[in-house]
């Protein structure tokens, strides 16, 4: 078995597009050549895929057995070395280590603690690639672990499965190995660990103990392993350790905060001789959590998100403990807009007066994992828009520039260029469209509900569509083959003509339609062969959007997305999908779904302008999608799916802010389809989030049918219906996980459908996969869909004979 070890490689540091100041630092501060003492700087974390997605391609080659574990490890080691050197060359003092991952940092912590679910038959020892990737992706015999959204981001983490009988052990030495690897390259890193409190809080109880088990009761079992890791890191020479505890920004009860305090009090004896940083991010830290974390005696430093957590600034001003370091997250780790350096410097100067010059560290608001990697890879991006942006590499330079400016060694030219870019963005005529702003403002006078209730609409739709009970469908996309990607790539590069491109895409749609007819699927899709990404495809056809060539961001595992940049007011100049949907419908007599991405998902999966409220931008997108929905209906498309996969992930982390968000998000969805006829069936789709707490808002969306991820999350969705929630619209909880190569049997799918029928009426249940099939291979898709249809038919027969 190949172990999850790391190799030591010496590589040349990758370039950063903004000029670098080579300043290797060996103390909390150092002296600039001017003689001024420079403030310390810190990066919470850095993208791990590489500037050209090197890790993605290495992983997929390894999974396909086209390359060896050693070749994968070599790519990974080169990326790590490049990132560490990059930050060192940029002058960053506190460089994060152990933020690299082959899949996910929470999965890495599962491996660290040996918390492998029994179904993977792990026999102990150092966890290797086989066990690690089986937990992430499943294998031929067992499904993958559940995956869900990391707080309110589009990054997905593997959810730990824990119960009272879990036997923890120190089963992955990745953290200490990577520290030693960096040290051998001359870079002293700050090892980063997912904190014990966040790890347990984000886990789920194992099957059978869901309602009785207190996850935090496991603190006493995992803290000894954390102590072993700390001891190993200390022995290797680490002087700082960073514990990520983002759960502290959530609404926590007093017993949870007591458990947090107890955990770090227990670890305190291990901290002797170390500086310990507790890092929080993504929102304000509530006052009680602020008190808890700032009161820890064994903790040297605390990091706060001061971009999304502006209220935390008031708490700091109200009292920050003397002697502790404040890691001030003033450079946005979640978005791609250039920092307003002058404003950030003012904030830092105010903080310096509170905590003292030697105790203030300039930092990012969160890990830069959630941003694109480097603007240097965007030579074709519009120059004016490019001047408004900062990707991860540029944010590293911004942090360093602020640290120097705070010390009196301000780079006046750099700050002047930044101020000019800020002014350009505010005054640019390409940002504002008065007609769009007026139309969006007018929306607030109505709730935009369809005139007829959903049960009456479903009756009208059934008369027109004549579907069987338990109708089968898929979520939208079909496998994107290498040939298909080649065609799109060559068309974009103008190597093939528009006629040649249209011919190739029509041929692909025809294949997908015929396959679905052969499989006897009831409501078809065209497979989306013309689409690169479900958000980017639409953004490319809407005004107010800009696009990158290499602005990739990790979503999960090797899956990366390239979020569009919304820089201005949004409108739809021309129809976007009508031609392809009409073409597909002409190939079959069965209903063909028109496939759209909803306004909330386009918003949440883009880099959004930060110069107006998010809801205003969302209303603008909703109006553009509304135009498209109505054009599809006019073209004879009777079933239209408006995906809102990201509705849940945009939910604010604090409960007090939920109602406002859900009100405008649900309203935005209703705007898109409020004008269609009763006979037009509106579907929506959601995936990979916990929906139970927003089920009433989902109902309020008033869609005719919702398809929703269910199988990978152990059918948690069904529990809400068992608890008495009544749902009258059509619903299709996913019957199998498409993010795993595993092919479910007919019996397994039938068992899932029967569980659904125990809590849902027969006449509203649909049968479908969890999500789109874009990332799968046809060798997996065909048998899986065949088994899905067979299961639906089997249960239809059983239901008919039971009458």
Residue 20 is predicted with a pLDDT of 30
User: In this structure, what DSSP letter does residue 573 have?
Assistant: S
> Half-sphere exposure of 320 toward its Cβ, with a 13 Å CA cutoff?
26
Residue 15 is predicted with a pLDDT of 36
Give 687's pLDDT tier (boundaries 50, 70, 90): confident
Give 162-192 pLDDT, tens digit per residue.
999 999 999 999 999 999 999 999 999 999 9
739 included as an active-site residue: yes
Helix (H) or strand (E) holding 392: helix 392-406
Output the average pLDDT for the chain. Answer: 92
Report the alpha-carbon distance of residue 282 to residue 280 in Å, rounded. Answer: 7
Residue 350 pLDDT > 60: yes
CA 179 from centroid of its chain's CA atoms: 27
Three-class SS of residue 171?
coil
Report the alpha-carbon distance of residue 738 to residue 661 in Å, rounded. Answer: 30
Beta bridge partners of 684: 706
Give 714's pLDDT tier (boundaries 50, 70, 90): low
Judge whether 368 and 336 are in contact, CB under 8 Å: no
User: In this structure, what DSSP letter does residue 467 have?
Assistant: P
Report the alpha-carbon distance of residue 553 to residue 373 in Å, rounded. Answer: 8
Give 580-637 pLDDT, tens digit per residue.
999 999 999 999 999 999 999 999 999 999 999 999 999 999 999 999 999 999 999 9
Flag the least confident range among 24-38, 66-80, 435-449, 727-741: 24-38
Residue 690 pLDDT > 70: no
Per-residue three-class SS string for 256-311:
HHHHHHHHHHHHHHHHCCCEEEEECCCCCCCHHHHHHHHCCCCCCEEEEECCCCHH
User: In this structure, what DSSP letter does residue 120 have?
Assistant: G
Give 692's pLDDT tier (boundaries 50, 70, 90): confident
Give 630-656 pLDDT, tens digit per residue.
999 999 999 999 999 889 889 999 999
Report the alpha-carbon distance of residue 138 to residue 741 in Å, rounded. Answer: 7
Over residues 483-490, the mean pLDDT reads 93
Give 28's pLDDT tier (boundaries 50, 70, 90): very low
Place of tokens 């992983």: 59
Residue 35 is predicted with a pLDDT of 47
Three-class SS of residue 718?
helix
Residue 769 is predicted with a pLDDT of 94
Residue 740 is predicted with a pLDDT of 83
Judge whether 82 and 89 are in contact, CB under 8 Å: no
Residue 716 is predicted with a pLDDT of 65
Three-class SS of residue 662?
helix
Over residues 537-544, the mean pLDDT reads 95
Judge whether 612 and 661 are in contact, CB under 8 Å: no
Tokens of 73: 């490890």
Higher-pLDDT residue of 723, 677: 677
Catalytic residue among 42, 370, 526, 739: 739
With 0-12 CB in 10 A as exposed, 13-18 as middle and 19+ as buried, what is 772? buried
Three-class SS of residue 692?
helix
Q: Nearest to residue 706, comparing CAs of 688, 685, 722?
A: 685
Residue 297 is predicted with a pLDDT of 94
Judge whether 81 and 11 are in contact, CB under 8 Å: yes
Give 694-712 pLDDT, tens digit per residue.
888 999 999 999 998 887 6
Residue 503 pLDDT > 60: yes
Tokens of 363: 């930092």
Residue 453 is predicted with a pLDDT of 94
Residue 343 is predicted with a pLDDT of 98
Give 280-294 pLDDT, tens digit per residue.
999 999 999 999 999
Tokens of 353: 């007066």
Q: Nearest to residue 597, comparing CAs of 636, 647, 551?
A: 647
Residue 712 is predicted with a pLDDT of 64
Report the alpha-carbon distance of residue 118 to residue 530 in Å, rounded. Answer: 42
What is the DSSP annotation of 722-790?
A: HTT----SEEEE-SS-TTSS----HHHHHHHHHHHHTTS-GGGB-B--SS--TTS-HHHHHHHHHHHHH
What is the DSSP annotation of 431-461?
A: S--HHHHHHHHGGGG-----SS-HHHHHHHH
């Amino acid at each position: 078995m190949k172990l999850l070890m790391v190799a030591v490689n010496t590589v040349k540091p990758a370039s950063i597009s903004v000029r670098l100041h080579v300043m290797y630092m060996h103390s909390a501060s150092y002296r600039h050549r001017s003689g001024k003492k420079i403030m310390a700087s810190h990066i919470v974390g850095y993208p791990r895929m590489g500037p050209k997605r090197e890790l993605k391609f290495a992983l997929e080659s390894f999974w396909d057995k086209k390359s060896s574990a050693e070749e994968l490890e070599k790519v990974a080691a080169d990326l790590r070395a490049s990132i560490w050197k990059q930050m060192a060359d940029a002058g960053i003092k506190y460089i994060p280590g152990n933020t690299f991952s082959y899949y996910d940092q929470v999965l890495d912590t599962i491996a660290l603690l040996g918390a492998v679910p029994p179904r993977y038959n792990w026999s102990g020892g150092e966890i290797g690639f086989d066990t690690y990737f089986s937990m992430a992706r499943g294998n031929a015999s067992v499904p993958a672990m559940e995956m869900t959204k990391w707080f309110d981001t589009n990054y997905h983490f593997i959810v730990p499965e824990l119960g009272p009988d879990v036997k923890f052990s120190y089963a992955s030495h990745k953290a200490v190995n990577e520290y030693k690897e960096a040290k051998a390259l001359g870079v002293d890193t700050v090892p980063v660990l997912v904190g014990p409190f966040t790890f347990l809080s984000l886990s789920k109880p194992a099957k059978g103990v869901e309602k009785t088990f207190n996850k935090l009761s496991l603190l006493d079992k995992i803290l000894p392993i954390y102590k072993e890791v700390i001891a190993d890191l200390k022995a290797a020479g680490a002087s700082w350790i960073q514990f990520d505890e983002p759960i502290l920004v959530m609404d926590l009860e007093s017993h949870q905060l007591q458990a947090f305090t107890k955990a770090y009090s227990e670890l305190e004896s291990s901290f002797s001789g170390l500086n310990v940083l507790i890092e929080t991010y993504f929102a304000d830290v509530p006052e009680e959590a602020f008190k808890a974390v700032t009161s820890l005696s064994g903790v040297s430093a605390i990091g706060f998100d001061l971009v999304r957590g502006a209220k935390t600034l008031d708490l700091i001003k109200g009292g920050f403990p003397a002697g502790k370091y404040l890691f001030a997250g003033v450079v946005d780790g979640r978005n791609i807009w250039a920092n307003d350096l002058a404003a950030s410097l003012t904030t830092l100067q105010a903080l310096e007066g509170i905590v003292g010059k030697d105790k203030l560290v300039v930092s990012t608001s969160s890990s830069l994992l959630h941003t694109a990697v480097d603007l240097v890879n965007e030579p074709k991006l519009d120059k004016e828009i490019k001047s408004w942006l900062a990707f991860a590499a540029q944010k590293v330079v911004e942090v360093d520039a602020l640290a120097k400016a705070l010390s009196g060694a301000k780079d006046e030219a750099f700050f002047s260029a930044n101020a000019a870019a800020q002014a350009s963005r505010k005054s640019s005529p390409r940002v504002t469209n008065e007609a769009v702003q007026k139309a969006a403002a007018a929306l607030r006078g109505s709730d935009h509900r369809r005139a007829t209730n959903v049960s009456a609409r479903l009756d009208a739709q059934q008369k027109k569509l004549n579907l069987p009970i338990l109708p089968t469908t898929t979520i939208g996309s079909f496998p994107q083959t290498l040939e298909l990607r080649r065609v799109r790539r060559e068309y974009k590069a103008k190597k093939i003509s528009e006629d040649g491109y249209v011919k190739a895409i029509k041929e692909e749609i025809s294949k997908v339609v015929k396959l679905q007819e052969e499989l006897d699927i009831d409501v078809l899709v065209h497979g989306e062969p013309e689409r690169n990404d479900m958000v980017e495809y639409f953004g490319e056809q809407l005004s107010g959007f800009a696009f990158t060539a290499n602005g990739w961001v990790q979503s999960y595992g090797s899956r990366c997305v390239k979020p569009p940049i919304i820089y201005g007011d949004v409108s739809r100049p021309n129809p976007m999908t009508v031609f392809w949907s009409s073409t597909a419908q002409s190939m079959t007599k069965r209903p063909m779904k028109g496939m759209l991405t909803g306004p909330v998902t386009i918003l949440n999966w883009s880099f959004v302008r930060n110069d107006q409220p998010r809801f205003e931008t969302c209303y603008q997108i909703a109006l553009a999608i509304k135009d498209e929905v109505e054009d599809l209906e006019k073209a004879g498309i009777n079933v239209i799916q408006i995906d809102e996969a990201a509705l849940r992930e945009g939910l604010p982390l604090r409960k007090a802010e939920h109602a406002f968000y859900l009100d405008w998000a649900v309203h935005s969805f209703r705007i898109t389809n409020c004008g269609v006829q009763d006979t037009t069936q509106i579907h929506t789709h959601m995936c990979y989030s916990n929906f139970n707490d927003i089920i009433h808002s989902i109902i309020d969306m008033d869609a005719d049918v919702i398809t929703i991820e269910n199988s990978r999350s152990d059918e948690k969705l069904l529990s809400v219906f068992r608890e008495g929630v009544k749902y009258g619209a059509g619903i299709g909880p996913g019957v199998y996980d498409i993010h795993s190569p595993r092919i479910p049997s007919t019996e397994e799918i039938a068992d899932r459908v029967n569980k659904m029928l125990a809590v849902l009426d027969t006449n509203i249940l649909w049968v479908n996969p969890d999500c789109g099939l874009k990332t799968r291979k046809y060798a997996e898709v065909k048998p899986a869909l065949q088994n899905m249809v067979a299961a639906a038919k089997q249960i239809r027969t059983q239901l008919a004979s039971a009458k």
